[in-house]
């Protein structure tokens, strides 16, 4: 059984391109994105790691630490980083985990035998400061991940954690949000002083609280 939303994200120790880390010690009280790649020197993943590096400031302002993983070794990772920096015109300075013994891949159920018996699938885990799994995504090898969507989901998760709101379909940062059903309508004005609109008794919207 793979990890489910709300499960504790397993801790681990690993070799990475920035040295040995303990996962919990590394992320501390930050949010984290842990995402896997089938192997080094693969074309789609080269663009993904490059895009992640290009979006460094976006992850930082959300208090998110990013870690990538592949089943290859640190030496290959470091050579691959040179290619990524060259071809994607960026600098990769976040850790890439060397998971040669598949220890982390097995903890996070990143190997799907019907896809590959030996390589990790292209998974994404968003992990909260409480070390709970908040989001899981799995992509096929041929489809590059949309990192703006990952940032959008993090924005939504952080709003929910801080303000007890949900976000509607296709929501973007700055747009109206939904008051969660657990909040009674009569309690909304005190909690959301910007006002609200009741579309249905179960569908109440309010301006984004932190904007």
Tokens 């391109």 map to which residue?
17
**192 in any annotated domain:** yes
Identify whether 45 is a catalytic site residue. yes
- What gap in Å lies between CA 180 and CA 191, rounded to an integer? 12
84 and 175 belong to one structural domain:
no
Number of domains the chain contains: 2
Please report, for residues 101, 120, 129, the alpha-carbon distance to residue 78 in angstroms, rounded to integers and kept in the order given. 18, 19, 29
User: Which residues are within 8 A (CB) of 96 and not within 5 positions of it... i.e. 6 or more apart?
Assistant: 16, 17, 49, 67, 68, 69, 70, 77, 80, 81
Mean pLDDT in the chain? Answer: 93
- Which of the residues 9, 45, 74, 179 is marked catalytic? 45
Q: pLDDT value at position 114? A: 53
177 and 108 belong to one structural domain:
no
Residue 100 has pLDDT above 80, yes or no: yes
**Structural domain span for residue 168:** 164-206
Average pLDDT over residues 173-188: 96
Q: pLDDT value at position 155? A: 98
191 and 90 belong to one structural domain:
no
CA dihedral 58, 60, 65, 68 (to 10 degrees): 40
119 and 187 belong to one structural domain:
no
Q: What is the CATH number of the domain that holds 60?
A: 3.40.30.10
Quick one: angle between helices 147-163 and 43-54, nearest 10?
50
- What gap in Å lies between CA 101 and CA 67, rounded to an integer? 18
126 and 185 belong to one structural domain:
no
41 and 68 belong to one structural domain:
yes
Kindly write down the DSSP assignment for every residue of 29-74, as one continuous string.
Answer: TSEEEEEE-SSSS-HHHHHHHHHHHHTHHHHHHTTEEEEEEESS-H
**156 in any annotated domain:** no
The predicted-structure confidence for 45-91, as pLDDT tens digits, reads as follows 999 999 999 999 999 999 999 999 998 999 999 999 999 999 999 99
The predicted-structure confidence for 120-173, as pLDDT tens digits, reads as follows 568 999 999 999 999 999 988 889 999 999 999 999 999 999 999 999 999 999
Three-class secondary structure of residue 192 per DSSP: coil
Q: pLDDT value at position 117? A: 47
Q: pLDDT value at position 39? A: 86
**171 in any annotated domain:** yes
* Eight-state DSSP code of residue 149: H
**7 in any annotated domain:** no
**72 in any annotated domain:** yes
The predicted-structure confidence for 2-52, as pLDDT tens digits, reads as follows 789 999 999 999 999 999 999 999 999 999 999 998 889 999 999 999 999
The structure's pTM equals: 0.92
Residue 110 has pLDDT above 90, yes or no: no
Residue 192 has pLDDT above 70, yes or no: yes
For residue 29, report the phi and psi dihedrals to the nearest 5 degrees.
-100, 20
89 and 26 belong to one structural domain:
yes
82 and 125 belong to one structural domain:
yes
């Amino acid at each position: 059984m793979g990890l489910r939303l709300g499960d504790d994200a397993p801790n681990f120790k690993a070799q990475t391109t920035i040295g040995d880390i303990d996962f919990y010690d590394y992320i501390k009280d930050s949010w984290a994105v842990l995402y896997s790649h089938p192997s080094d020197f693969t074309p789609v993943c080269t663009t993904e790691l490059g895009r992640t590096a290009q979006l460094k400031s976006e992850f930082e302002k959300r208090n998110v630490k990013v870690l990538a993983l592949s089943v290859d070794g640190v030496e290959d990772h470091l050579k691959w980083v040179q290619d990524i920096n060259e071809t994607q015109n960026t600098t990769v300075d976040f850790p890439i985990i060397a998971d040669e013994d598949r220890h982390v891949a097995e903890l996070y159920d990143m190997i799907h035998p019907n896809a590959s018996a030996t390589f990790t699938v292209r998974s994404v885990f968003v992990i909260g400061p409480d070390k709970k799994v908040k989001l899981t995504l799995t992509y096929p090898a041929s489809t590059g991940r949309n990192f703006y969507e990952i940032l959008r989901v993090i924005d939504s998760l952080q709003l929910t954690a801080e303000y007890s709101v949900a976000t509607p379909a296709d929501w973007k940062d700055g747009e109206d949000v939904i008051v969660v059903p657990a909040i009674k309508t009569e309690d909304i004005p005190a909690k959301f002083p910007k006002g609200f609109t009741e579309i249905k008794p179960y569908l109440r919207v309010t301006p984004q609280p932190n904007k």
